[in-house]
Amino acid sequence: MRSEATTVAQYLADLPDDRRQAIEQVRQVVRDNLPDGYEEAMNWGMITYQVPLETYPDTYNKQPLMYAALASQKNHMAVYLSGIYTSDSTRREFEAAYKATGKRFDVGKSCVRFKKLDDLPLDLIGETIASMQVEELIAATEKAHSKRRGKK
């Protein structure tokens, strides 16, 4: 369910009350923990937290490098955490920490799905958001791209 909203305020206003409240609370956790240098924007039909093109213009798709995002989908809400996929160990550590919370671990491709706010370990989401500086994300991205280029 892709939103056509062009601003975060419009995106939030278009949500049903229960989802708006949940997304707003997760958004606050993200904003409270977001390292300097990332920007909040609407991109790909979601609220995104990304590296501005002014900081890192050399992306494969000419779009800002996404670090995290929030979305309300048809059957769930989701927090996209692209940063945890920069290495297998980071992803495994996140998965272990998540499972240790006792909350249901419902993941998709780079996202954690939840139906209500109580399903999401907000402290872990905040820690995860705070864990990667812009420079680290750029370095991990460049490393991944150089590996792919080397395979060709």
Domain 8-142 falls in which CATH fold? Aspartate Aminotransferase, domain 1 (3.90.1150)
Ramachandran region, residue 42 (left: φ > 0; alpha: ψ -120 to 50; beta: rest): beta
Of 82, 35, 40, 30, nearest to 59 by C-alpha is: 82
Domain positions in the chain are: 8-142
- Does the model's pTM come out above 0.75? yes
Q: What would the pLDDT profile of 14-53 be if each residue is shown by its tens digit? A: 999 999 999 999 999 999 999 999 999 999 999 999 999 9
Confidence of residue 150 (pLDDT cuts 50, 70, 90): low
Positions of E strands within 39-110: 39-43, 46-51, 65-72, 77-81, 107-108
Taking only the tens place, the pLDDT of each residue in 67-106 is: 999 999 999 999 999 988 888 898 999 999 999 999 999 9
- Six token digits for residue 60: 């494969």
Per-residue model confidence as pLDDT tens digits over 107-142: 987 899 999 999 999 999 999 999 999 999 999 988
Whether the Cβ atoms of residue 134 and residue 38 lie closer than 8 Å to each other: yes
